[in-house]
């Protein structure tokens, strides 16, 4: 593990593509390179420092293949600097700022940011229940229709930002950290209960506000502490929902401060990035940089980013749609 005191030392160290390739190789395979196609471990490395050939399936691949850096024209030195900048800031940074720092276009910086955020993605549903002290709450992002004028609403809609309230449910385990998910429009009591039961163990203490969707949860946990905010009740000793409410406040500030416009389809990604930042707040900048590489084996294409789905899926849907129409 390297130790850098500041950003200057960091970019001085990662000033060469080869150093970045070596670092990435170490993070991906830790000295035991396996084929990304067939997982065979008889792999030859080429002298150029970034290409490999598998001796089982005879396929070629590069060190960036299958990662968030795949097929990018941006040098890894810039990618690494961008990851460092994005992860070392207390709140997120806008792509305009990153573009200025790295001497790239704002559009490129935006795309890089979204690929980096892909590494923070959490598989929300693939979990087993954990016992402990859980604070659960929900937050709404976006304009309140009742509070804004018609003209302003129309303007917002034109700009393409969030123009309806989008709910997020947040689950905070006081020792393990924060996760959360965007709430679908039809999230009823059954949906919320199933969601909570996937995360919260039966020997837990659950702390929530008086939202009706949580009302049946006392059956599944050791104790369910409810605080009716409108009656002025916010906590009893160690039982409260102040931690998660503080996190939500900070998330809202982050969105307001760094991103003036935020597409609703990207909100989950920004939320996951926020959770990453929240959960790693005790780490040093370089530890946080290093942690990002644990989940680097993901990639989002421009198609998926802009249209919300891959070109293949889109084409498949198009053909299926056409077939259904023709028959
Ligand atoms: Zn292979």
Give 179-229 as a DSSP string. EEEEPPTT--HHHHHHHHHHHB-TT-EEEEES-GGGTTGGGTSSEEEEE-G
Give me the chain's average pLDDT, please. Answer: 86
CA of 44 to the centre of ligand 1 (A): 11
- How many whole angstroms from 51 Cα to the centroid of ligand 1? 13
120 CA from centroid of ligand 1 (Å): 28
303 CA to middle of ligand 1, Å?
28
Ligand 1 centre from 41 Cα, in Å?
Answer: 8
Residue 56 alpha carbon to ligand 1 centre in Å: 5
Q: Determine the distance separating the centroid of ligand 1 and the alpha carbon of 230, expressed in angstroms.
A: 61
Q: Quick one: pLDDT band at residue 321, thresholds 50, 70, 90?
A: very low
Tell me: pLDDT of 48 over 60: yes
For ligand 1, the distance from its centroid to the CA atom of residue 45, given in whole angstroms, is 13
Radius of gyration of the chain (CA): 23
**Distance from Cα 73 to the centre of ligand 1, integer Å:** 25
Cα of 39 to ligand 1 centre, how many Å?
6
What does the buried/exposed string (b/e) look like for 271-280 if buried means 16 or more CB atoms within 10 Å of the residue's CB?
bbbbbbbbbb
Question: Which range, of 143-152, 201-210, 252-261, 303-312, averages the lowest pLDDT?
Answer: 303-312
Instruction: Report all structural domains of the chain as residue ranges with CATH numbers, in order of start.
Output: 1-31+66-303 (3.30.420)
How many angstroms does the Cα of residue 314 sit away from the middle of ligand 1? 29
Give the H or E element holding residue 118: helix 106-118
Please check the confidence at residue 322 and state whether its pLDDT lies above 60: no
- State the distance from the centre of ligand 1 to the C-alpha of 310, rounded, in angstroms: 25
Beta strands in the chain (DSSP E): 43-45, 51-54, 60-62, 133-141, 166-173, 177-182, 205-209, 223-227, 235-236, 239-240
Q: How far is the CA of 46 from the centre of ligand 1 (A)?
A: 15
> How many residues are present in the chain?
327
Using DSSP, state whether 100 is helix, strand or coil.
Answer: helix
Residue 140 CA to residue 114 CA, distance in Å, equals 22
Whole-structure pTM value: 0.86
Residue with more model confidence, 314 or 93 = 93
pLDDT digits (tens, 9 = 90+) for 111-169: 999 999 999 988 888 889 999 999 999 998 877 777 777 787 777 666 665 667 789 99
Q: What pLDDT does residue 247 have?
A: 95
pLDDT at 308: 64
Q: Which of 278, 248, 277, 49 is nearest to 167 (CA)?
A: 248
DSSP 175: T
| Ligand 1 centroid – CA 54 distance (Å) | 5
Which residues sit with Cβ closer than 5 angstroms to ligand 1, an ion? Answer: 35, 37-38, 40, 54, 56-57
Minimum mean pLDDT range among 54-63, 251-260, 308-317: 308-317
> Residue 326 — very low, low, confident or very high, per pLDDT cuts 50/70/90?
very low
For ligand 1, the distance from its centroid to the CA atom of residue 32, given in whole angstroms, is 14
How far away, in angstroms, is 65 Cα from ligand 1 center? Answer: 13
Distance 175 CA to ligand 1 centre (A): 41
Q: How confident is the model at residue 51 (pLDDT cuts 50, 70, 90)?
A: very high
Distance CA 117, CA 273 (A): 6
CA–centroid distance, 122 to ligand 1, in Å, is 28
What CA–CA distance (Å, rounded) separates 123 from 88?
A: 23
pLDDT band at 325 (very low <50, low <70, confident <90, very high): very low
Share of the chain above pLDDT 90, in %: 58
Q: How far is CA 246 from CA 20, 129, 167, 237, in A?
A: 37, 24, 16, 17
C-alpha 66 to ligand 1 mean position (Å) = 14
Euclidean distance between CA atoms 86 and 246, whole angstroms: 22
């Amino acid at each position: 593990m390297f130790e850098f005191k500041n950003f200057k030392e960091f970019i001085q160290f990662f000033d060469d593509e080869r150093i970045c390739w070596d670092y990435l190789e170490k993070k991906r395979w830790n000295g035991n390179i396996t084929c990304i196609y067939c997982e065979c471990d008889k792999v030859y490395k080429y002298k150029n420092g970034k290409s490999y050939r598998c001796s089982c399936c005879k396929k070629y691949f590069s060190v960036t293949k299958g990662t968030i850096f795949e097929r990018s024209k941006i040098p890894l030195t810039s990618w690494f600097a961008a990851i460092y900048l994005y992860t070392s800031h207390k709140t997120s940074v806008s792509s305009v700022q990153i573009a200025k720092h790295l001497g790239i276009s704002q559009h490129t910086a935006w795309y890089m940011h979204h690929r980096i955020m892909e590494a923070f993605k959490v598989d929300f549903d693939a979990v087993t229940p954990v016992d402990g002290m859980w604070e659960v709450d929900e937050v709404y992002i976006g304009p309140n229709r009742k509070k804004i004028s018609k003209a302003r609403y129309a303007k917002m809609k034109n700009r393409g930002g969030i123009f309806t309230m989008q709910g997020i449910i947040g689950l905070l385990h006081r020792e393990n950290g924060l996760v959360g998910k965007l709430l679908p429009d039809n999230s009823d009591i059954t949906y919320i209960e199933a969601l909570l039961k996937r995360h919260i163990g039966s020997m837990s203490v659950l702390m929530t506000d008086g939202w009706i969707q949580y009302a049946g949860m006392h059956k599944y946990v050791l104790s369910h502490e409810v605080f009716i905010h409108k009656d002025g009740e916010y906590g009893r000793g160690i039982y409260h929902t102040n931690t998660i409410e503080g996190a939500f406040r900070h998330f809202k500030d982050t969105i307001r401060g760094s991103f003036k416009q935020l597409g609703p389809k990207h909100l989950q990604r920004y939320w996951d990035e926020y959770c990453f930042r929240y959960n790693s707040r005790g780490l040093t900048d370089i530890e946080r940089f290093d942690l990002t590489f644990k989940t680097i084996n993901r990639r989002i294409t421009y198609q998926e980013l802009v249209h919300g789905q891959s070109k293949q899926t889109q084409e498949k849907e198009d053909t299926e749609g056409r077939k259904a129409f023709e028959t």
